[in-house]
Structure 1
Amino acid sequence: MDLGIGGKVAVVTGGGRGIGAETARMLAGERVKVVVSDIDLAVAEQVAREIVAAGGEAIASRGDVCELSDVQQVVADATEAFGCVDILVNNAGFNKDRYLTKMTEPEWDSVVDVVLKGAFHCTRAVLPGMMARKWGRIVNISSRSVFGNPGQTNYSAAKLGLVGFTRALAQEQAKFGVTVNAVAPGFVETEQMRANPTYERLRETALERIPVGFLGMPEDIASSVAFMASERARYITGVTLFVTGGRFSS
């Protein structure tokens, strides 16, 4: 299926690893010009090189989404290389799990800031151009954790906040031809997940609770993001798509 976005330009934050990297590759496979943005420039450059080697168009741009100047530079790099930004995937995020009574303020702030302030900075930076061109796609990466996971009050709150951000912004931007949606992954096997010291226990628990009986892979999420970013999804906005294998409760 042709998604109708060949030649468009996308910025993928947190694009150097896991879901972000696979999303960058998936979009490039749809002939999208991709800006792989990550706080770790080395991993972003590696993904960009892979895309170019496969015949796609991509550049890497370092950016801390919590820093407005960094975000502005990423958009400037995208504009210099490809002319504009048509698609933004707000993927940057991470978890610092701890029960609330033991959670420090920096642990709360760092998670919430990357997920929410990062989406705020990046979206605000690209919206004027999208509005002027009367076309744009914002896809926010939320999480099944919006239903609540013990030890993840910071992460669950941030990801649920992103759902509210998505719904409100969708209503603001609809008249400008800009759609805003979220994709909420369940348990996905990524390098970051496998590096968790309790990975085997988490994996076993997840498998017991996922109705389809198998774990998600980064490409499962990337496919959903690509669709939401496409012309095929032009009548969808303000929606959160749960890609969880049927798992919703904790």
Structure 2
Amino acid sequence: MTDPNTTLTDQVALITGGAGGLGSAAGSWLAAAGATVVLADLAAEPARAAAEKLTAQGYAAEGIGLDVTDSAAVEAAVDDVVARHGRLDVLLTSHGFPRDGRLLEMSDEQWRSVLDVCLFGTFTAVRAAARPMAAAGYGRIITIASRAWHGNPGQANYSAAKAGVVGLTRSVAKELGRKGITANSLAPGLVETPSLRDLDTFDAIRDRAVKDNSIKRIGTPDDVAAAVTFLASPASGFITGEVVHVSGGRFG
């Protein structure tokens, strides 16, 4: 028997970075749980292609182009989703990228580009989505941080951005809980996405992660999507302000 508290029937979910490995997997899981899924990505065509794969399976999905660093565009996109679907119940922020480099060689541009997309872009999405959620008295905000929020050598910019995402999410949880909105972060470890597999150093990166993990494999997008689906559900209503590590037991 299906527990109604674990389904998302008639709900609407917006996923930033929706064409990426994590975003598209989460979109599949949320759509399978009954949600109408809006996949938003900087590149509109990949977002539409990801949505078309879902609609071909009989799910409700659409893809849109969206630059999360353009706050006016983000506000307009959320307004459009609400105007067309009547509601916005779930926000997942899965956009972002690293630009690694040692501190002494890191340029201002490397720092700013990562902070702008990963942290400011999360802020614009959360702020915009929180407005209709607060008006409705219900919402689930899920941000993708990273195990790197603890600090990683060669990732001062990315670690700072993801630590900022955690702080932002916890602040939102404290501010908006009284309005029926939960806010939680997921902190994945190494996850096997197409972009990771394309790296020449993939084997070495994977082997090092497996050695350090308690669970002797690296993560999959479905591992993250499963956690997203639970946190998006009504069943998670008393969980907020948390950082859930989807990292195979590797925390620091």
Same-fold status (TM-score > 0.5):
yes
Partner of 2:79: 76
Say whether the 8 Å CA contact 1:95–1:155 is kept in structure 2: yes
How far has the Cα of 1:124 moved from its partner?
A: 1.1
Q: Does 1:169 align with 2:180?
A: no
1:239 is matched with 242
What does residue 54 of structure 2 align with?
Answer: 51
Of residues 49-58 and 74-83 in structure 1, the stretch that sits farther from structure 2 once superposed is 74-83
Deviation of 1:189 after TM superposition, in Å, equals 0.1
- Cross-structure match for 1:96: 99
Match of 2:155 in 1: 152
2:93 is aligned with what amino acid? Answer: N
Root-mean-square deviation over aligned CA pairs: 1.1
Kept in 1: contact 2:7–2:34 (CA 8 A) = no
| Partner Cα distance (2:197, 2:154) in 1 | 18
Partner of 1:65: 68
Could you tell which deviates more after superposition, 62-71 or 236-245?
A: 62-71
Structure 2 counterpart of 1:9:
12
How far is 1:77 from its partner? 3.4
Q: Secondary structure at the match of 2:64?
A: strand
- CA apart distance, 1:28: 0.2
Residues 132, 77 of structure 1: CA spacing in aligned structure 2 closer, same or farther, 3 A cutoff?
closer
Any idea what SS the aligned residue of 1:93 has?
coil
> What's the % identity of the aligned pairs?
39
Q: CA deviation at 1:74?
A: 2.1
> Which residue number in structure 2 is paired with residue 205 of structure 1?
208
* CA–CA distance in structure 2, aligned partners of residues 196 and 171 of structure 1: 40
Q: Secondary structure at the match of 1:182?
A: strand
Aligned residue in 1 for 2:118: 115
Query: The residue matched to 2:251 in structure 1 has which SS?
Result: coil
Indicate conservation of the 8 Å contact 1:37/1:74, yes or no: no
SS in structure 1 of the partner of residue 185 of structure 2: strand
Q: Match for 1:18 among 21, 32, 40?
A: 21
Q: 1 CA distance for matches of 2:199 and 2:77?
A: 30
Question: Structure 1 residue 29 and structure 2 residue 55: aligned?
Answer: no
- The whole-number CA distance in structure 2 between the counterparts of 1:15 and 1:56 is 15
More divergent stretch after superposition (188-197 vs 167-176):
188-197
Give 2:69's aligned amino acid. Answer: C
State the 1:193 CA deviation: 1.2
Query: How does the TM-score come out when normalised to structure 1?
Result: 0.96
Report the Cα offset of residue 75 of structure 1. 1.4
CA distance in 2, matches of 1:69, 1:128: 14
**Residues in 1 aligned to 2:238 and 2:160: alpha-carbon distance in whole angstroms:** 28
Deviations, residues 91-131 of structure 1 (Å, cap 9, x unaligned): 11100001011111111111111111111111111212111
Alpha-carbon distance in structure 2 between the residues aligned to 1:22 and 1:182: 17
Deviations 1:178-222 (Å, cap 9, x if unpaired)?
A: 000011100100011112232221111111111110111000001
Q: Which runs of 4+ in 1 moved over 6 A?
A: none
Distance 2:115 2:146 in 1: 13
Residue equivalent to 1:194: 197
1:140 counterpart = 2:152: no
TM-score (norm 2): 0.96
Q: Return the offset for 1:86.
A: 1.1
Give 1:166 deviation, angstroms.
1.1
**Residue by residue, what CA displacement relative to the aligned partner does 1:34-91 show, whole Å, maximum 9, x if unpaired?**
1000001111011100111111111111001001132123213322432221110011
The answer as to whether partners of 1:61 and 1:77 remain within 8 angstroms in 2 is: no
Q: Which runs of 5+ in 1 are unaligned?
A: none
Alignment of 1:130 with 2:128, yes or no, is no
Instruction: Name structure 2 gaps, 5 residues minimum.
Output: none
